Structure 1
Amino acid sequence: MTELPVAHPIASPQPGAAEYPGLDAWRDLPVVQQPTWADSEVHRAAVAELSSLPPLVFAGEVDLLRQRLADAAEGKAFLLQGGDCAETFEGATADKISARVRTILQMAVVLTYGASLPVIKMGRMAGQFAKPRSSNDETREGVTLPAYRGDMVNGYEFTPESRAHNANRMVQAYHTSASTLNLIRAFTQGGFADLRLVHHWNKGFTANPAHSRYESLAREIDRAVKFMDACGADFDALKRVEFFASHEALVLDYERALTRIDSRTGLPYGTSGHFLWIGERTRQLDGAHVDFLSRIRNPIGVKLGPTSTADDALRLIDKLDPQREPGRLTFITRMGAGNIREKLPALVEKVTASGAKVLWVTDPMHGNTVTSPNGYKTRNFDDVIDEVRGFFEVHHALGTFPGGLHVEMTGDDVAECLGGADPIDQHAFLERYESVCDPRLNHMQSLEMAFLVAGALGKR
């Protein structure tokens, strides 16, 4: 992988920051995709403030997720991970967050009922505020400014003031994540996620073929629940669900400042989210991202693109999961529909032969990005579906478990990916394209995806 050179000031550990041997070794290693903070004094103050703030998630929750992912790695559960390509501060409203959570809950119900497997529900939420970029700069009409790297780093508006890298945005990302997590916890623990309300989750969404199919499934669940209720079943377990938060651990100043030492074990945990992943652009074995994440106790994901080799995967296992601990390491493959059947088998075969217990998850979005004739970045829904099918075909042929789905999606009625049962065409982009970065599946396309995956899992 080739990377753009990035020079930036990296703050030293602040008073009150978690201290643990080796946690700052990454500072002496090659680091890519980092901001160039405009003001070093503001940067130091922001890192100091983050280091003193309460954790966003707790070590016990992280440990619980690792146990759940261990079940998935053993073929006893399935991971559903979905959310925005890049969260924005402006988009962190109750309506948008609840629509996203509802869509994930609906997808999970489809998967659970269709596959008879527990589904681990995880959002790309409450922290997905930074994005890697293929270029440091963007040029419009002869004007060149820094590229937009997510609201944690700079603004989307194309002005010098907005595009300057401002470390205070890391603090704003923390507080926005805290608000988002508060809402998610209220939704999933306060009755919103009660399985007896599966019909209610469809309210407020425009009727479409995917919803009709969902309503049919909801009626089946409703009948089953009423039958069990008549038999005297205790439904307390149906009132709330486990929901975990995840994001790409890209801005290392932010991740390091939110690392805390667990009082129970004396071990370091990244408390910015339950699950953190390393992107395709930052997975260098000798790089800062791999080193830092190797030293925290969170379950870790790594994106593997079409250039990944089996040897790359094995070396990443040695670095990130030397104890071969089920639930510790997830490989998220993003090969592209045209590559998945050719590139994935060798990786799965060699990793399986090594005895490592990794969780295999498909990201069918990132390898299928194209530009529409009218200039919008988009994805063809058929290509996305084909990569999912290829993922399941490879694992079926090898006798291994296809353990999860990682998608960029929203609960809103956007038009960003072409196709689907109620087809989106490029003309719809003019009015309903809202993403500030990559195109997402809308609510209906997300449900279509869930029914496809449920069918593939059910065949097992």
Structure 2
Amino acid sequence: MSTLSEPLAPEGLDAWRRLPVKQQPEWPDADALADVTADLAAQPPLVFAGEADTLRERLAAASRGEAFLLQGGDCAETFSELSADNIRDKIKTILQMAVVLTYGASMPIIKMGRMAGQYAKPRSSGTETRDGVSLPAYRGDIINGFEFSPSSRTPDPRRLLEAYRNSASTLNLIRAFTSGGFADLRLVHEWNRGFLRNPAYAQYEAFAAEIDRAIRFMHAAGADFDGLRTVEFFSSHEGLLLDYERPLTRVDSRTGDAYDCSAHFLWIGERTRELDGAHVDFFSRVRNPIGVKLGPTATGQDAIGLMDSLNPDGEAGRLTFITRMGAPKVRELLPDLIEAVRADGRPVTWVCDPMHGNGFTSSNGYKTRRFSDVIEEVRGFFDVHRELGTVPGGLHVELTGDDVTEVLGGAEHIDDHSLGRRYQTLVDPRLNHQQSLEMAFLVADMLRVS
């Protein structure tokens, strides 16, 4: 059995320090940062090598059309919202969506949370100005506070340790919820039946009735196995803050490979995917499955360069491309990317992020998205893959288990005026519980015909 430790690092693991690195805070006290990162390096890993290897196998199946990824959770986790109820409700939402998608796809759904580490966020500007006062931008609770004051906005390395402790607590609860009766398929389906009692969702009743018949058949046939009662659930976050990711990197004593043990799956954002940058270099040297966000400026050449850097040997499940084009552009821009990757021949897992390309500011000043645009980007993603004969491998969604009002539309018709009722996000708007389940039913229909 292999163990994870921090012996001599594999050659080159710290090469990123000599490269251009974007979206990092300006820490005011280098000695305090060094003390914190040394403390982090001595902490137990949050995840284990074998778990990351299992996820890589699951994502390889998704790249072949034998599984489908559902990745969901907060835009940015916050320390103040760390509670058993919040974690439970996010898991519950993802599990409910997964039941619907499993039936629609007739294949396993890989369940992954944007949880237990999604504390850092890239920003378009390093500063924020209010009433003539400029302060560092809020970069997520792992770096600084949201309150607009000098003390709150000054980056504080002690927050890295708090993020680690909170992530450990979150993972502990995730494992408890998903390994016990809470994740039982029959219970989750009952939750979905409760959702459908709202007349707004009557259009999905026939689909839900099919699932109900399938579950009753399994029960009548005496089916009772672990797959009904427990689920695999993986953690993920954007690997943005390298002063957090590097100290949590461990070496597998059996193979000598490095694993970033802050999460099972890390992704590189649209703003930090430069081929000669620090993020691509660092994540090229760890064995976790890795994702890269590709926006509307991404080219086929960019995609091939990322494959050369992050997965030169073409290992299935190692590299996931998460596309975020925007609903009006996805059918125009996605084909060239897919064609370039297909011509190369090395496998990738294609995943749709329908959230980040569809943001705008509402008439009353809220940063929001339209549910219809989110669904249209997913539909375009499936249409392009169907036309090209390639595999749509998953969905990456910002969501919450709460009854927030942050995204316009859906069957409950959230409008501009409604946004102010329960707009709670500190960064980007999320689908609420009802919108997330409505999305699952709509995507399940797409999966049935893809």
Calculate the TM-score normalised by the size of structure 1: 0.94
Shift of 1:447: 1.1
CA contact (8 A) 1:209 1:422 kept: no
Output the amino acid matched with 1:87. E
The correspondence of residues 358-373 of structure 1 with structure 2, limited to 5 A, is: 358-373=348-363
Counterpart mapping for 1:196-275 below 5 A: 196-202=186-192, 208-209=198-199, 220-275=210-265
The 1:17–1:257 alpha-carbon spacing in structure 2 relative to 1, beyond 3 Å, is: farther
Alignment of 1:341 onto 2:331: yes
Contact 2:127 2:134 in 1 (8 A): yes
CA RMSD of aligned residues (A): 1.8
How many residues are aligned here? 446
Match of 1:4 in 2: none
Are residues 1:287 and 2:282 paired? Answer: no
| Aligned residue among 389, 395, 407 for 1:399 | 389
| Shift of residue 57, structure 1, vs aligned partner | 0.4
> What amino acid is aligned across from residue 398 of structure 1 in structure 2?
L
Write out aligned runs for 1:183-198 (5 A): 183-198=173-188
User: Alpha-carbon deviations, 1:281-335, whole Å to 9, x = none?
Assistant: 0000000000000000000000000000000000100000001000000000001
Structure 2 counterpart of 1:171, one-letter code = L
Q: Does 1:388 align with 2:371?
A: no
Amino acid at match of 2:307: I
Shift of 1:199: 4.1
1:299 equivalent in alignment to 2:289: yes
- Structure 2: segments with no counterpart, 5+ residues: none
CA shift for structure 1 position 356 = 1.3
Q: Are residue 65 (structure 1) and residue 65 (structure 2) matched?
A: no
Task: Find the counterpart in structure 1 of residue 437 from structure 2.
Answer: 447
- Which position in structure 2 is the counterpart of 1:457? 447
The residue type equivalent to 1:388 in the other structure is V
Q: Matched residues in 2 for 1:209 and 1:121: separation?
A: 28
Change (3 A) 1:173 1:268: same
1:75 CA displacement: 0.8
Q: Does the 8 A contact of 2:127 with 2:135 survive in 1?
A: yes
Q: Secondary structure at the match of 2:181?
A: coil
**Identity level (%):** 67
Provide the residue aligned with 2:143 in structure 1.
153
What is the SS of the residue equivalent to 1:192? helix
- What is the distance in 2 between the residues matched to 1:445 and 1:222? 21
Q: 1:412 & 1:17 partners in 2: Cα distance?
A: 43
Cα-to-partner distance string for 1:244-272 (whole Å, 9 max, x where unaligned): 00000000010000000012211100000
Correspondence for 2:117: 127
Measured after TM superposition, the shift of residue 200 of structure 1 is 4.5
- 1:172 has 2:158 as partner: no
After the TM superposition, which parts of structure 1 deviate over 4 Å for at least 4 consecutive aligned residues?
15-18, 202-207, 209-220
Once residues 29 and 212 of structure 2 are traced to their aligned partners in structure 1, the CA distance between those partners, rounded to angstroms, is: 57
Report whether the alignment pairs 1:308 with 2:301.
no
The match for 1:377 is 367
1:143 to 133, 138, 144: 133
Helix, strand or coil: the match of 1:314?
helix
SS at match of 1:292: helix
- Deviation, 1:208, is 3.5
Which of 313, 318, 322 pairs up with 1:332? 322
- Alpha-carbon distance in 2 for matches of 1:349, 1:313: 11
Aligned to 1:12: none
Q: What is the aligned counterpart of 1:317 among 284, 293, 307?
A: 307
- Aligned with 1:56 (options 42, 46, 50): 46
Sort the Cα spacing of 1:290 and 1:145 in 2 relative to 1 into closer, same or farther, 3 A. same
* Cross-structure match for 1:39: 29
Work out whether residues 199 and 215 of structure 1, in 8 Å CA contact, stay in contact via their aligned partners in 2: no
Secondary structure at the aligned position of 1:301 is classed as strand
Q: CA deviation at 1:214?
A: 6.5
2:70 and 2:98 in contact (8 A); partners too: yes
- Deviation digits for residues 192-213 of structure 1 (CA, Å, limit 9, x no counterpart): 1011212443599796356656
Q: Which amino acid aligns with 2:380?
A: G
Of residues 271, 277, 288, the one that matches 2:267 is: 277
- Structure 1 distance, partners of 2:7, 2:299, is 37
Give the conservation status (yes or no) of the 8 Å contact 1:278–1:289: yes
Query: Is the contact between residue 196 and residue 202 of structure 2 (CA under 8 Å) also seen in structure 1?
Result: no
Preserved contact between residue 17 and residue 51 of structure 1 (Cα < 8 Å): no
Preserved contact between residue 6 and residue 250 of structure 2 (Cα < 8 Å): no
Structure 1 gaps of 5+ residues are 1-14
With over 3 angstroms needed to count, the CA separation of the structure-2 counterparts of 1:174 and 1:18, relative to structure 1, is farther
Structure 1 CA distance for aligned equivalents of residues 404 and 288 of structure 2: 33
Partner of 1:6: none
Whichever residue aligns with residue 176 of structure 1, its letter is N
Deviation at 1:28, TM superposition (A): 0.3
> Take 1:244 and 1:459, find their aligned partners in 2: how far apart are those partners?
27
Contact 1:333–1:361, Cα closer than 8 Å, also in 2: yes
Deviation, structure 1 residue 29 = 0.4
Distance 1:242 1:433 in 2: 31
- The one-letter amino acid paired with 1:436 is L
CA contact under 8 A between 2:7 and 2:251: conserved in structure 1?
no
- Give the Cα–Cα distance (whole angstroms) in 1 for the partners of residues 206 and 90 of structure 2: 21
1:111 partner amino acid: L
TM-score normalised over the length of structure 2: 0.96
Q: CA deviation at 1:17?
A: 6.5
Equivalent position SS for 1:33? coil
1:374-423 Cα offsets, whole Å, 9 max, x none, are 11110111111111111111111100011110011111110111111111
Provide, for residues 13-50 of structure 1, a one-character-per-residue CA deviation record: whole Å limited to 9, x for no partner: xx956611110000000001001112222211110110
